[in-house]
Amino acid sequence: MSDNPIKIALIIGSVRGGRFGPVVAKWFAGQAERHGAVEVDVIDLADYPLPLEMAPYGELPPPEVGAVWAKLSAKFTAADAFIVVTPEYNHAPPAVLKNTIDWFKNEWVAKPVGLVSYGGVGGGLRAAESLRLVFAELHATTVRDTVSFHNSWGDFHKDGAPSSPEGSEAAAKSLLDQLVWWGEALRDAREKRPYSS
C-alpha cells in the first residue's frame, strides 16, 4: 500500500430492489484493494436518499435533507477520485445517480472519474458515455478506459467473481492506473493552485 494513497469514493449508482450493482461494486473494490495505490470508500446511494426537489440555486438544502447531504458532501470532498458503478436504464444512467450528481458541485471539480458499467448487450456503455458529458460540465475529468459487463447477470459466479476474470481484471487495472495518474496529478495541482471554475 502506498503511504499517500489516492482516496477513491466508489459510488453504487442503482438502488432498486434486487439490484445487481453491489455485486459489481464489491468485485471492483477488491480489484482496487489489490492495486495497492488507492484507498476505497464504498458509497451506496441506497443509504443516502436525496429528493428530486433540489434546493434553490446557491442555497443549502433544507434541514430534513441536510444531514444526508452533508454526509455525502464530506465523503465526496474527502475523495481524490471517483469510481461510478452504473447500470443502463433505457440507454441512460439511473435517475437516482444523475440526481445525486446534480445535488453537488464543488465536490466534483478538478477530480478524475472512472466509469464501471453493466447491463444488457450494450454493457451499460451508453450510460457510461453519457456520464462523460455530465462530468465535463462539472469540471471533472473522466478517464479513458472503462470496465463494462455485458449481460452482467450471467457474467458473475454466485460467489461474486466474474466468470471470465482475465479481461475484466486487466480492464480494472488499466482504469485504476489511469485514475491514480490523474488523481495524483490533480491532487498536486489543486494544492499548488486552487482551480477556478
- Please report, as ranges, the residues that interact with ligand FMN according to CB under 6 A: 14, 16, 19-21, 87-91, 119-122, 152
β strands within the chain, DSSP E: 6-12, 38-44, 81-87, 112-119, 141-142, 147-150
Query: Cβ closer to ligand FMN: 39 or 44?
Result: 44
Q: Using CB atoms within 10 A of its CB, is residue 165 exposed (0-12), middle (13-18) or buried (19+)?
A: middle
Query: Cβ closer to ligand FMN: 87 or 112?
Result: 87
Q: For the CB of residue 17, give the shortest distance to ligand FMN in the complex, in Å.
A: 9
Q: For the CB of residue 155, give the shortest distance to ligand FMN in the complex, in Å.
A: 10
Give the three cell numbers for residue 152.
Answer: 452482467
Q: Up-side HSE of residue 11: CA atoms within 13 Å toward CB?
A: 27
If one counts every other C-beta atom within 10 angstroms of the C-beta of residue 90, the result is 7
The SS3 call for residue 142 is: strand
Query: Cβ closer to ligand FMN: 55 or 92?
Result: 92
Q: For the CB of residue 79, give the shortest distance to ligand FMN in the complex, in Å.
A: 22
Q: For the CB of residue 118, give the shortest distance to ligand FMN in the complex, in Å.
A: 6
Query: Cβ closer to ligand FMN: 16 or 34?
Result: 16
